[in-house]
Every structure is written in C-alpha cells, then in structure tokens.
Amino acid sequence: MTDWRKSVQANHQRPPGRPLPHGVIDRFWQEAAALRAIESRLRDLYRRWGYTEYIPPSFEFADTLSTGAGTLLQGQMYRFFDRDGKVLALRPDMTIPTARLVGSKLFDQPFPHRYFYTGPVFRYTEPMAGMPREFYQSGVELIGAGGPEADGEVLALAVESLRELGLQDFRIVLGQMAFFHGLLEALNLEPADEQALKLALDRKSDPALRTLIDRWGLEGNLREAVMRLPRLYGNEGVLNTAQEVALNETMRAALDTLRAIEKIVDAYQVKAFITLDLGEVRGMEYYTGITFEGFVPDLGTPVLSGGRYDNLVAAFGPPQPAVGFAITLDRILRAQHIHKVPQVPWMPDIIVGGTVTPQHVTLVQEARESGRKVAWCYNAHTSSELWAYAERWNIPKGVWFDDDNALVRESGNVFRVPLNEVNPLL
C-alpha cells in the first residue's frame, strides 16, 4: 500500500488554525451524509402522513420571534440590526414562524393545515450534551384541529419518526399542561409562587414541594393534589388516581382529553411507547395542552419534544388550535451512533482512474445514469495508486482504464475486463 500519510507529511506543514465561533461546527463526510439521510427519511414519512413542507426564513424581526417565546427562549436568541436599525433575530425554533405564517397569511384557507420543516435553528446556549448553538431540527405542526384525534395523530407520528430512524426501546413521556393549569386555578397563587411551584415540579423535588405547601399553609385536598402530582407518573391507573385528586372542571376535562388520546394512540398501535407524567410541567411557554418528550436509552437528554399550543396562532391572527413536535437531529445522530444504527455510505461506490477517452467517459456516464455513484481520480498514476486511494476512502470498487481493457478491483480481488464486452462499472 502506498503510504499516503508519509507523502502528506512530507509535502505539507500543518496550516495555521482558523477557529470557528463557539457553538458552530463543520458538518462533513459521514456526519453530513447521516444528517441528510435522517432529513430525507423524515421528509418522506411526513409526506406520507399528508404534511407539506414549510421553509421559514432563517431570520426575521426579533419582536415576531419573541411572541409567546417565554423569557428563556427569548434570552437565547441571536439578535442583530439591519441597516434601518431594526432588530432582527435568527430563528430559535420553527414553531413560532409557522404560527406567524398561518396566523397572518393563511388564516382564511380551509383547515386543518399540516406543515413539516427541517433545518437549522439558532440558540445562544451553553453547548450541552454535544448540542451546538446552530443545531438541526425536523418536525411537524398540525394547525386548525383541537381534538384528541389531532393530539393522537401527532403522538403516533412522533413514535413513527423515531422508529423510522432505526431507534428502538425509546419512550415518549406525555404530560398535560391543562391539568397543571387547572391546579393553578384552584390554588390561586401569586405569580412568583406559581414560578416556585413550577420549579419544584421541574426538579421533581418532594422536599421543595413540602416546603412550599407548608409556607402557603395548604390543607386537605389542595395539599394532597400538589404532593401527589410528581407521582402521577406511569401507565396503568395513573388517570384513575389523577381523577381522585382533580379539584375542578379544568383538571377533569384535561383528564378526559388524555383518555380520548389514549384510545387514538391505541388504534395507531403505539400506546406501548408512551408513559404518562402529569407532573411534567416544563417545555415551551406557549404550550397549553399535552406536552411530550422522547427519550432514547443511553442518551441523557431528550431527542424529541412537542405539545399543544392553542394560543400561539392567535398572537398573529384568528385563533387556531395547534399541536406539533420537533426532533433534534444532532441528538439523533448521537443516539444512532450509540445504538450502532447502520450508517449510510457517504463516498462514491466506484472510483475510476487511468486514461480519459471518450469511450471511458461514456462508460462512466452509463453507470451514473443507472444510479451508481462514480468519481474520477486524476491523481493516481498507476492502478496500485488508485487501489490505495480507494482503500483510504473506503470506496468498495476501483476501475483502472487502460485503453481497451479495464482492471477492476472489488473486495480485494483484481481482474481484467475487455471493454468491448461489458461495462465493468455495472
């Protein structure tokens, strides 16, 4: 084998580094191919379910993107000025632009609308668990349908998406903000106390909950409802237990919705992937109904998150109920890596070298038209140099043209093929 490493070292000194800003990465080789493969599988899946593509702008007015975004997401936006001094921002998620599109432009077109998107979003966060500040999301929004059927559809599509990407043993954790909002109605707390309660639930901290309950002097069924919230988690019986602690109509209606959703996801045969957690109150500020997150074994962070946001479209136009989810592709890549999901090939199938005659070009074009990925290597002066190149780049097949003959190398074997008989590339 030609030692290409030696020649590289002999001829080039390491060039000076050109650092990238914190939080952005070059995606190339396997990484780029894998990312695009994920996108194209999801795109095909979403199309089969009747979703149509929405390509939002990468940046728009910061005001617009702040709508319903909550302080956390707002604080994470990349903002900059245009020449008129207007404040722009890079999109921190895809849901807000979708809500703007439907609310302000497509509000009078027959509903429901179904949109999917795929592309980078930008958040100024501490890179966490391999998440760059420019990261890729694919997801769907189902707008103009408020019932449990829509919730069930989107949940089922979330499960199908993760399956489509070769993941197994994952779990979708389903929460219900409406249940928590009903509890807040019953408790009638000051805004700061609501935040404290939310934080304690976010941390699943029994001691913090007990401290709050004591401080507020909650008694009887109010106390019971708060303390039991973190335990309203699991599958069988959770809804019945929740029914016992429900304090008002809002909470009971929220549970009825979950029962109806349960029937729908059962019909889609994806119920086994879903776990209820009524104590889950995190997620985007704009969520009003169900919320859900997808977890994959051995990956500490969720790969998918979504929920119902019935008030967001109303910020831009006539109100429309809406539900959707987004998958974080950077984390899917990592999950696929951990779980050894077979990788797509990213290099050509065939590398071709030797003389470039009209006959040889014709043969190469024939192979390309039949779907083979074929590239010329002009830098190899001998067949063995071509084989070395093929080996370095993991290209399974090499073809060396020598006028009327070709040397073909495949799985380590080299054989001679006369060109007037067959195309050695096919």
Partner 1 sequence: MPEHIRMALPKGRLEHDARQFLARVGLMSESPTNGRALIVPGAEPWVDFLLAKPADVPVYVEHGAADMGIVGLDVLREGNYDVYEPLLLPFGHCRLSVAVPQDQVDAYESLRLHPTLRVATKYPNLTLEFFHARGLTPEIIPLSGSVELGPLVGLADVIVDLVQTGRTLRENGLVEVRIILHSQAVLIANRASYRLKEREVRDIIDRLSKHIGENDELGGEMST
Residues making contact with partner 1 (CB under 8 A): 126, 128-129, 169, 171, 173, 203-208, 210-211, 234, 275, 295-302
Based on CB atoms, which residue is closest to partner 1, 172 or 352? 172
Least distance in angstroms from the C-beta of 65 to partner 1: 23
Least distance in angstroms from the C-beta of 300 to partner 1: 2
Least distance in angstroms from the C-beta of 129 to partner 1: 5
HEC string of the chain equals: CCCHHHHHHHHCCCCCCCCCCCCCCCCCHHHHHHHHHHHHHHHHHHHHCCCEECCCCCEEEHHHHHCCCHHHHHHCCCEEECCCCCEEEECCCCHHHHHHHHHHCCCCCCCCEEEEEEEEEECCCCCECCECCEEEEEEEEEECCCCHHHHHHHHHHHHHHHHHCCCCCCEEEEEEHHHHHHHHHHHCCCHHHHHHHHHHHHCCCHHHHHHHHHHHCCCHHHHHHHHHHHHCEECCCHHHHHHHHCCCHHHHHHHHHHHHHHHHHHHCCCHHHEEEECCCCCCCCCCCCEEEEEECCCCCCCCEEEEECCCCHHHCCCCCCEEEEEEEHHHHHHHHHHCCCCCCCCCCCEEEEECCCHHHHHHHHHHHHCCCCEEECCCCCCHHHHHHHHHHCCCCEEEEEECCEEEEEECCEEEEEECCCCCCCC
Based on CB atoms, which residue is closest to partner 1, 36 or 204? 204
Based on CB atoms, which residue is closest to partner 1, 148 or 230? 230
Based on CB atoms, which residue is closest to partner 1, 206 or 403? 206
Least distance in angstroms from the C-beta of 192 to partner 1: 9
Least distance in angstroms from the C-beta of 230 to partner 1: 8
Based on CB atoms, which residue is closest to partner 1, 36 or 228? 228
Based on CB atoms, which residue is closest to partner 1, 62 or 333? 333
Least distance in angstroms from the C-beta of 277 to partner 1: 8
Based on CB atoms, which residue is closest to partner 1, 32 or 129? 129
Give the count of alpha carbons within 13 A of 362, CB side only: 7
Least distance in angstroms from the C-beta of 229 to partner 1: 13
Least distance in angstroms from the C-beta of 214 to partner 1: 8
Based on CB atoms, which residue is closest to partner 1, 63 or 214? 214
